[in-house]
Amino acid sequence: MSNEKDNILKFLQNTSVEVTPGGAKKIENFRDVLREGTTVFVTFLPGSDFNDTVATVKRLFAEGMKPVPHFAARSIPSRAFFEENLKILQAEAQVEEALLIGGGVDKPVGEFSSSMEILRTDLLQQYGIKKLGVAGHPEGSPDIPPADVTKALLEKNAYAKEHGIEMYITTQFCFEADPIIAWDKRIRAEGNELPIHIGVPGLATIKTLLAHATACGIGPSMRVITRQAANITKLLTTRMPDKLTRDLANYQANDPQCGITQCHLYPLGGMAKSAKWLYAVLDGNFTLNDQGGFDLTVDL
């Protein structure tokens, strides 16, 4: 039992979190919610204004966090726009890490149609980006055929080796471990060597989970929601993240070939509540249960 608790603590130790510019406006000061130095990803959603992403990044930096802006290739209007914003982010928020995704829009707004095209500009390194996340799809991408996903991932592996940039995969969240484990083993067999920061859903209502999962094209693990939909109360507590977290922590600890190195938390039901859950676990305030998960020993 103690080993399993240690596995969970190790798995969650360097957890990053994600916020939208809209969600950030609901937080008076991030220091009241997150511990200093927390890595916080800032989204650039289709149709949104990148100035809002930049403003949120600058605010997070001022409030003691380590902000990681999203760059969505298909939503970037031009090379000049991309370069100018990189320059601002480095100068005003000392950004050294970013997440690069293709972006879920049907038609590119500018000259870039894929994340590889952004990579090949070499502007990220030129403007101080030393660490870079790229997208991973444990249950498949709603926009890209599987063969193209594999090809793109191997291209990114090759680029990281050739250019010496620290690159990792960040995924959308799933609700159960089996699809994630199968995906990790499959992409490893196909040649992936990039570490994986696996997405885990924070505390949320059934309505929030369903809406987000549908929008992101999350597949087989949707049945977990269906199975638990009759007991909404459980979805408002630690029931959703705990079993997934325990399963993945044990997989990480027991498979020396496991590609998962850390957790990326999606605070779907609100940053404050998910952060309280995370810190309660990291402080050891939980006990393992017989249902394959764990229970907090403190109130949120």
CA distances from 129 to 55, 103, 114, 228 (A): 18, 20, 18, 42
pLDDT tens profile 167-219: 999 998 888 899 999 999 999 999 999 999 999 988 866 666 666 555 555 55
How many CB atoms within 10 Å of residue 58?
17
All structural domains of the chain with their residue ranges = 2-293
Q: Which residue, among 272, 206, 274, has the nearest Cα to 241 in the 3D structure?
A: 274
Q: Return the number of other C-beta atoms located less than 10 Å from residue 234's C-beta.
A: 12
- Bridge partners (DSSP) listed for residue 288: 294
Digit-coded pLDDT (tens) for 236-262: 443 458 999 999 999 999 999 999 999
Q: Tell whether the torsion through CA atoms of 116, 87, 18 and 262 is positive or negative.
A: positive
Q: Which residues contact 271 (CB under 8 A, 6 or more apart)?
A: 17, 19, 23, 26, 27, 33, 34
User: CA–CA separation, 3 vs 42, rounded Å?
Assistant: 34
> Distance between CA 185 and CA 155 in Å, rounded?
18
**Segment 126-153 mean pLDDT:** 90
Nearest CA among 256, 294, 254 for reference residue 278 = 294
> Two tokens at 121?
């500009």
Question: What class is the 2-293 domain?
Answer: alpha beta
Neighbouring C-alpha atoms within 13 Å toward the C-beta of 251: 23
CB-based contacts of 238, cutoff 8 Å, min separation 6: 203, 277, 293, 294, 295, 296
Whether 104 shows a pLDDT value over 60: the answer reads: yes
For the whole model, what pTM was predicted? 0.89
196: left (phi over 0), alpha (psi -120 to 50) or beta: beta
Mean pLDDT value of segment 46-54:
93
**Higher per-residue pLDDT: 225 or 136:** 136
pLDDT tens digits for range 57-102: 999 999 999 999 999 999 999 999 999 999 999 999 999 999 999 9
State the CB neighbour count (10 A cutoff) for residue 276. Answer: 18
pLDDT at 146: 86
d(CA 3, CA 11): 12
pLDDT (0 to 100) of residue 228: 47
Check if the beta carbon of residue 237 is closer than 8 Å to that of residue 255: no
- For 284, the token pair is 């050891």
DSSP string computed for 246-294: HHHHHHHHH-TT--EEEEEEE-TT-HHHHHHHHHHHHTT-EEE-TTSSE
Contact between 175 and 204 under an 8 Å Cβ cutoff? The reply is: no
